[in-house]
Amino acid sequence: MFYDHKEIEAKWQKYWADRQTFKAEWPSEKPKFYALTMFPYPSGAGLHVGHPLGYIACDIYARFKRHQGFNVLQPMGYDSFGLPAEQYAIQTGQHPALTTEVNINRYREQLDALGFSYDWSREVRTSRPAYYKWTQWIFMQLFDSWYNRETDRAEPISTLVARFEAGGNQGLDAACDADTPIFTATQWNAYTAAERQRMLLRYRLTYLAEAEVNWCPELGTVLANDEVVNGVSERGGFPVVRKKMTQWSMRITAYAQRLLDGLDRIDWPQPLKDAQTNWIGRSVGASVVFKTQPTAHQPDTFDIEVFTTRPDTIFGVSFMTLAPEHELVEKITTPEQARAVQDYVAASARRSERERMADVKTVSGVFTGAYAAHPLTGEPVPVWIGDYVLAGYGTGAVMAVPCGDQRDFDFARHFGIPIPNIFEGVSVEEEAYEDKQNAVIANSGFISGLGQKEAARQVIAALEEKGLGRGTINYRLRDAVFSRQRYWGEPFPVYYDAEGLPHLLPEHCLPLELPEVEKYLPTETGEPPLGNATRWAWDAQAEAVTDNARIDHKTVFPLELNTMPGWAGSSQYFNRYMDPRNDQALVSPEAIGYWKDVDVYIGGSEHATGHLLYSRFWQKFMFDRGWVPVDEYAQKLINQGMILGTSAFIHRRSGTQTYLSSGLAKGEQTEPIRVDANLVNASNELDTEALRSWQPQYAEAEFLSENGVFKVDREVEKMSKSKYNVVNPDQICEEYGADALRLYEMFLGPLEQSKPWNTAGLSGVYSFLKKLWRLYHQGPDRSFEVLDGEPSAESLKTLHKTIKKVTEDIQEFSFNTSVSSFMICVNELTAQNCRERAVLEPLAVLIEPYAPHMAEELWQKLGHQDSIARAPYPAFNPDFLVESTKEYPISFNGKLRFTMELPLDLSKDELEARVMADARTQEQLQGRTPKKVIVVPGRIVNIVG
C-alpha cells in the first residue's frame, strides 16, 4: 500500500473535526498546558508558507504536551477589526463584516488543511459583539480606576473620590496629568459635578485629553507611535503630521516601572526585552527649576523646569533651550524677538517629532530675549528655543551644557553663545576635552573631585535645600492614544453631556454594537465615519441607542464617534480563550484559576512595542483589580523567524517597454522590476509567455533573451504578496501533503532564525515520509505488517536514542534537529529490517506531533480504536543505550596487533583468559609465556614479554 497523503489527511482532518479530538477538557483533573500563537488578522490574500511557521511549532509543542498527559488548551481566533477591511469597504462599498467573514472562511480552510490541533470550540473574533462586549468592559474598568503610587496599583475611582472628600489631593501620590492643580477637601466639596468630573479625568486610567497626535491625513486617522515608521504610516507609507486633538488616552505611563520590572520575571527573548526597555526609556536624573528674570515688558517671574540626567554638569550651563511648543515661549519672549520667535515656532510645527529626532545635523533655533537665573550661582542664563528639544519628553526644556552635550555644543557654536573660554577651540571628541569638562564641572568647589554620581547627589541636595529641584525618574514611554477615526473598530461605550463631558453606558447595556453607516469615510464636517450614522444617540432613560434627531442633552445624548485602535481587541484575548462563551464575565474565576496563564506564546517580534507591551499593561491592570491571578500572562515567549521569499527581477530598458535577460542588462540603463516568482523555474528562467498574460503592461512588451532563454535576477527578501514572491501552502498540501509541509517548515532551520524558502527541498522530507510508511508496510505486496516478537537490541537502541534526542530537542524548541533525528532513526531501522511493534508503536507516537495524519493512520493500523493524540509519550530507557561490548585493542609490547570484541562486564581475569585463549594471541606469542599481561577493563590489553 502506498502512502496516499491526500486520502489519509482528509480522513483524519474530518475525524478530528467530527469528534472534537482537540477540545480542551473542562473541568479537568489533569495539569493544564496553555499553548498560544498570535492570532492572525484575516487579510484578503490568505496564508502563505511563511505564516504557519509559528503555528506549526506551537502545534508540535501542544501535541507533545498532550502525550505527556497535560490538558492542553490550544485555541485559535481572528484579530478581525482593522484597516484593510475598512479600506476595501471604502473602495467597494461592501460592509467590512462581510469581507472579514469571507477572509476568515478562507483562513479556516487553509488552517484546517495543515492539521492543527486547535480547540475550535473556543474560537474568538475580535469584531463580534459578544467578544467586544468585553473589550468595552475593560475600557469601562480603566475609566473607573486610578493609579495609587503609594500602594503601587490601580484602584477603583471611588477610593480616590473618598480621599478628595477627606483631604483634597494634597500629599497624594497618584499617576495624573502633569499640570493637575492642588486642591483642598473644602474646594473639592464645593466643586460642581462637572468640575469634579474634569478633575477625575486627570486621574482616570483612560482619559479624554487634548493631545499632540500623529495624524495621517491620507488614512484619515490618528496613529500610535509604533504605527509610525520613519515619519510615515506603517501601513501604506503615508505622511504623518503632528496635530492637537481631543482623544482617549491610556495612562500606560503609570505602569512604566512595573512593565520594566516584570521583564526580569519572564522568559522572553532578550532582543524583545531590550526593545521594550528602550521603548519605556527609563532615565534617572533631576528636575531643576530656573526662574526667569523679570523685565520691563514682563514683570512676572516664571519657573522653567528642566529635566536632566546630568545634574553634576549644572555649573557648565551656559544657556537654556525650550521646545518651540513650550507654553512659556509666548510669555517670556521680548518684543524685539517676538517676530523671529513666531516665525520659528510656525516653521518647526511643520516638522514631525521623528524628523526632528532623526535630524542631528541641522542646528536651528532662536533667542527669546529672556534670561533665567542659574539656581545655584544666580548668574543670568539666556533662554533660547530650538527644535532639538522635544515638547513631549521630560519637561520640554533643557539646561544646555555645551561641555557635556554635543547638541548643546553645536547649538552654542552655531549661534555664538559664549561657552566658558577654556573650551574654545577644543572639539568634544578630543581627549583634552574631558579634562576641561571636569574642570568646569568642578568649578564650584563643593563638588570638585567627586565622581559623577556623588556630584549629582550633592547638586540635587543643594537644589532641594533651595526648593529649586529634586531627583526624578523620567520615562520616554508616552500615554497611548486610544481613539481612532475609523469605522471598523470597537465603539466606545460613552456618551457626552451638554458640557462635553464623557459618561459611561451602564455595564448591563454592553455590548454597544457598531451602527450601520452609508459611507465609511469621514463626514463632510471632518467627523469620523460613525458621524454618518443617523441612529447613534443614547437614550439614558430607555437605556438604548436611538435616533440622532432625538438628542436633547437631557435624556438623549450623542454617542462617541471614535472607535478603539487595533490593539484593543488583542490585549486580553488570551484570557478570553479560557472562558470564551461566558457572558457574565470576561473570564470566570474558576477558568482563570485553572488555566492561569499562557505557558508558551509564539509570535512575531514586530509586536515588541505594540501588542506585547499593551497586553502586558492591561494584564497588570486586570491583576490589580483582582480579575486575574498573575500580572504577567505569558511565562515563555518565542519569536519565530521569518520565512523569506525569493523574489525575481527583470530589467527594463529605461523609458521603453523592452526587457533584458539578466546577462544583457550589465552596463545598460535599466530599472529592476519585480515579477511573479511563480513564473520562474529553478534555473532562473522566466516563462515570458506566462508573464504576458500576468499583467497587461507585459502583453505587448519586447523580451530580449540570451541563448534562447530569458533569465531573471533573484533576491531573497521578506515573503509578501506585494513582492510577488509568496508560496501558497495549498499547492504544497496538494502535492506533498500537510505532514510534509509541517516537517519541511521545521527542517528549514532554527525556529527563531529567518530562512529562505525553497520548494525544491520538499521532496527530501516527502521521501522520508514514504520511507517511514514503508517501515510499517513490509508485508506481501507492501501490505501493512508489524510483528509481535522481540526487537533486536540495535533497534531498541535506535528507538531510545531517538526518544532521548527528540524529547530534549522539543523541550528546547529545537525542531529542525528533531526532524534530522527522525531521518537518521528511520534509516537505521530500515537497515536493521526492524518490523517489531515494540519499536514501531512508540515511534508513531514520537513522530505524531510533526506528522499527525500519518501517525493517526499508522496507529489505527496498529489496531488502536482511539486517536493517537493522547497516547502516552514513549518512556526513555537508558539501559538500551548502554554499550554491552567493547572493541579492545590488543597490544604486544606496546604495539597494537589486532582488536577483539569483548563483553564490557567481564572481570580482569576473565578478560585475560579470553585474550590468552585467542588463536591470534598464540600466534603472536609463538609458544613464549608472557612476562606480564596488563588489563585495563574497558580500555586496553597489553601483553609484555
For residue 362, the minimal CB distance to ligand ANZ (Å) is 15
For ligand ANZ, the closer CB: 67 or 242:
242
Residue 409 makes contact with ligand ANZ by CB under 6 A: no
Nearer to ligand ANZ by Cβ, of 464 and 499: the residue is 464
Q: Which stretch binds ligand ANZ (CB under 6 A): 59-67, 189-197, 395-403, 462-470?
A: 395-403
Closest residue by Cα to residue 565 from 676, 472, 482: 482
Bridge partners for 600 per DSSP: 35
Residue nearer to ligand ANZ on the CB measure, 79 or 312: 312
Of the candidate spans 396-404, 533-541, 795-803, 865-873, the one that interacts with ligand ANZ by CB under 6 A turns out to be: 396-404
| Among the listed residues 59, 405, 490, 599, the single contact to ligand ANZ using CB under 6 A | 405
Q: Which helix (H) or strand (E) covers residue 389, if one does?
A: none
Residue type, 524: E
Q: Considering beta carbons, is residue 365 or 404 the nearer one to ligand ANZ? A: 404
Q: Are 777 and 1 in contact (CB under 8 A)?
A: yes
Q: How far is the CB of 281 from ligand ANZ (least distance, A)?
A: 7
Task: Return d(Cα 180, Cα 926) in angstroms, integer.
Answer: 106
Angle between helix 738-747 and 52-67 (nearest 10):
100
- The CB-nearest residue to ligand ANZ is 404
Stretch that binds ligand ANZ, among 57-65, 375-383, 389-397, 803-811 (CB under 6 A): 389-397
Q: Would you say 478 and 547 are in contact if contact means Cβ atoms under 8 Å apart?
A: no
Q: Which of 390, 439, 701, 940 binds ligand ANZ (CB under 6 A)?
A: 390
CA distance 576 to 138: 12
The reply on whether position 396 binds ligand ANZ by CB under 6 A is yes
Which of 262, 324, 394, 502 is in the footprint of ligand ANZ by CB under 6 A?
Answer: 394
- Does 452 engage in binding with ligand ANZ (CB under 6 A)? no
Q: Does 78 bind ligand ANZ (CB under 6 A)?
A: no
Which residue type, as a one-letter code, is found at position 694? W
- SS3 sequence of 267-294: ECCHHHHHHHHHHHCEEEEEEEEEEECC
Q: Which of 35, 216, 259, 399 binds ligand ANZ (CB under 6 A)?
A: 399
Which CB, 362 or 693, lies closer to ligand ANZ?
A: 362
836 close to 788: Cβ distance less than 8 angstroms = yes
**CB nearer to ligand ANZ: pick between 398 and 551:** 398
Report, in Å, the least distance between residue 437 CB and ligand ANZ: 8
Pick the binder of ligand ANZ from 164, 344, 367, 393 (CB under 6 A).
393
Task: Specify whether the CB–CB gap between 73 and 119 falls below 8 A.
Answer: yes
For residues 266 to 295, the per-residue mask of contacts with ligand ANZ, x marking binding by CB under 6 A and - elsewhere, is -----------------x------------
**H helix count then E strand count, the chain:** 29, 34
Tally Cβ neighbours within 10 Å of residue 161.
Answer: 16
User: Measuring CA to CA, how many Å separate 436 from each of 423, 426, 427, 678?
Assistant: 7, 9, 11, 65
Neighbour count for residue 682 (Cβ, 10 Å)? 8
User: Residue 864's beta-bridge partner residues?
Assistant: none
Region from 144-152, 394-402, 578-586, 901-909 binding ligand ANZ, contact rule CB under 6 A: 394-402
Smallest gap from Cβ 379 to ligand ANZ, in A, equals 16
Residue 146 lies near ligand ANZ (rule: CB under 6 A):
no
- Least Å distance between CB 461 and ligand ANZ? 18
By CB under 6 A, is residue 412 in contact with ligand ANZ?
no
352 contacts ligand ANZ (rule: CB under 6 A)? no
Q: Residue 287 or 661: which CB sits closer to ligand ANZ?
A: 287
Alpha-carbon span 491 to 559, nearest angstrom? 9
For ligand ANZ, the closer of residues 475 and 496 by Cβ is 475
Q: Please list every residue from 291 through 330 that binds ligand ANZ, using CB under 6 A.
A: 307-310, 313, 323
Where b means 16+ CB within 10 Å and e means fewer, 146-158 reads bbbeeeebbbebe
Spatial distance between the Cα atoms of 856 and 844, rounded to a whole number of angstroms: 8
Determine if 404 is a binding residue for ligand ANZ (CB under 6 A).
yes
**How big is the site for ligand ANZ, counted in residues (CB under 6 A)?**
18
**Distance separating alpha carbons of residues 600 and 264, to the nearest angstrom:** 17
Q: How far is the CB of 141 from ligand ANZ (least distance, A)?
A: 32
Among the residue ranges 168-176, 207-215, 398-406, 899-907, the one whose residues contact ligand ANZ (CB under 6 A)? 398-406
Give min distance, CB of 456 to ligand ANZ, in A. 11
Rule CB under 6 A: say whether 610 interacts with ligand ANZ. no
Binding residue for ligand ANZ, selected from 36, 200, 401, 732, defined by CB under 6 A? 401
* Least CB distance to ligand ANZ at residue 391 (A): 7
Q: Which three cell numbers stand for residue 395?
A: 519637561
Nearer CB in complex with ligand ANZ: 478/620: 478
Rounded distance between C-alpha atoms, residue 537 and residue 559, angstroms? 5
Whether the CB-CB separation of 487 and 521 falls below 8 Å is answered with no
Interface residue with ligand ANZ among 154, 341, 389, 844 (CB under 6 A) is 389
Binding ligand ANZ (rule: CB under 6 A), the pick from 62, 85, 200, 398 is 398
**HEC profile of 121-172:** HHCCECCCHHHHHHHHHHHHHHHCEEEECCCCEEEEHHHHHHHHHHHCCCCC
Yes or no: say if 227 and 234 are a contact pair by the CB < 8 Å rule.
yes
Residue 443 within binding range of ligand ANZ, rule CB under 6 A? no
Verify binding: residue 411, ligand ANZ, rule CB under 6 A.
no
User: How many Cβ atoms are within 10 Å of 312's Cβ, its own excluded?
Assistant: 26
Q: Are 449 and 439 in contact (CB under 8 A)?
A: no
Residues lying near ligand ANZ in the complex (CB under 6 A) are found at 283, 307-310, 313, 323, 389-390, 393-394, 396, 398-399, 401, 404-405, 474
